[in-house]
Structure 1
Amino acid sequence: MPFAAITYDIKPGYEKELAAVFGDFKRVRSSRVEGASGEQAGTILATAVFLRDDTLVRVIEYTGDLEAVARHMASQPGVREVERKLKPYLSRPRDTDTVEGFVATFKRSLLNTVAQISVRDLPAPA
């Protein structure tokens, strides 16, 4: 299962406030990601958020098409609420008020995958 990591440039010194923003996160309605025609385009399996100094990173474990995952996230009320609550703490504004803006920001914020290793990728024991 692939992972994606996106960064947020934030103002340092707000660790407690940022932890509260993500602590109140409302899960997505469904982990099922639909494509443009309503077909299943992927699944969001897990997310995690990491913070240090002026960098916040959201890691997403998913299956399927990453752009469809980004579009799905853009339409979720909990994700939109987090993006709204993060605005005062951002050192670089993010255009996430529309689906198109969210997807473009997601792509710009995406870290390059250098390596991914999982026990799920090992062959089954004989």
Structure 2
Amino acid sequence: MPYAAITYDIKSGYEDEVAEIFGSFRRPDSSVVPGEDGAPAGRILATAVFVRDSTLVRFIEYEGDLTAVARFMARQPGVREVERRLAPYTNTPRDTATVEGFVRTFQDSLLRCVSQLSVPRS
């Protein structure tokens, strides 16, 4: 399964506040990611969030089309709430109010994957 990691440039000293925001995250009702035509385009398998000092990283394990995953996330009430609540703690504003802005911000925030190792799953 592929992985993606996106970064957030947050203000140092607010790690606990940011952790609380993600601690109350509302998951989507479904892990299935619809494509533009409504047919399944992928799935979000798992997410994790890490923070230290001014860096927050959201790790996503997914199947399918990553752009479809970003579009799906942009429409989720829980994701929109997290982005709204994080705004006061970010050093760099994130344009996430629209689907297009969210996808662009998502793509601009992606870390380059340099290695991915896993054991076969049954």
**TM-score bracket for this pair, using the shorter chain length:** over 0.9
Q: Deviations over 1:46-81 (max 9, x none)?
A: 000000110000000000000000000000000000
Please name the residue that 1:28 is paired with.
28
Please name the residue that 2:56 is paired with.
56
Which amino acid is the alignment partner of residue 88 of structure 2? P
Matches for 1:75-90 after TM superposition, within 5 Å: 75-90=75-90
Q: CA deviation at 1:120?
A: 2.2
Please name the residue that 2:118 is paired with.
118
How far apart are the structure 2 equivalents of 1:99 and 1:29? 19
Q: Deviations over 1:14-65 (max 9, x none)?
A: 0110110000000012100000001110000000000011000000000000
Identity, % of aligned positions: 67
Which amino acid is the alignment partner of residue 92 of structure 1? T
RMSD across aligned positions (CA): 1.0
Please name the residue that 2:17 is paired with.
17
Listed as ranges, the gaps of 5+ residues in structure 1 are none
Listed as ranges, the gaps of 5+ residues in structure 2 are none
Moved over 3 A (4+): none
Matches for 1:31-110 after TM superposition, within 5 Å: 31-110=31-110
How far apart are the structure 1 equivalents of 2:69 and 2:29? 13
The 8 Å contact of residues 74 and 103 in structure 1, kept in 2 or not, is answered as yes
How far apart are the structure 2 equivalents of 1:36 and 1:75? 13
User: Normalising to structure 1: TM-score of the pair?
Assistant: 0.95
